[in-house]
Structure 1
């Protein structure tokens, strides 16, 4: 996994995401990560707890989510997939095929 953002930026992004999630503003997390490379989003997700990870991953568009899913560590990917329903998983897989 190739990271494109620096540790300092990573810490700032994590702090921003956690603040938004804690305040119930999950929909505002997308602009924080939308322009990041999928490997960077995967790295960020690996630093979040399951609840935070679920909140962030749930707002990703299917195309971006499928790109991130490929970059996730196996144990993190398993956790993410375990929280998704079959329709969500199917949308992700369809995006991988295109």
Structure 2
């Protein structure tokens, strides 16, 4: 997962305007995603949580209202799919997970 966070950071620095992922038709840019991951990472670190938790929380925060009305398991699938999309092409991307 560290490789994924590094990829998001690199792309946010190089092309913050570029769409990282679409959630329910809403585009999330690398710049916005990385900014939100950093904000959640400050909170996660204080509570001994990992960057994985910060990325998951950031993605959840971008879920559109229509997805937020779904059951938590369905929301989790949206986040897991987003993590897999963001990690495509990375070595070991088959083992990426939004939790754990």
The question of a shared fold, defined as TM-score above 0.5 by the shorter chain, is answered with: no
Higher relative helix content: 1
TM-score by length of structure 2 reads 0.38
TM-score by length of structure 1 reads 0.39
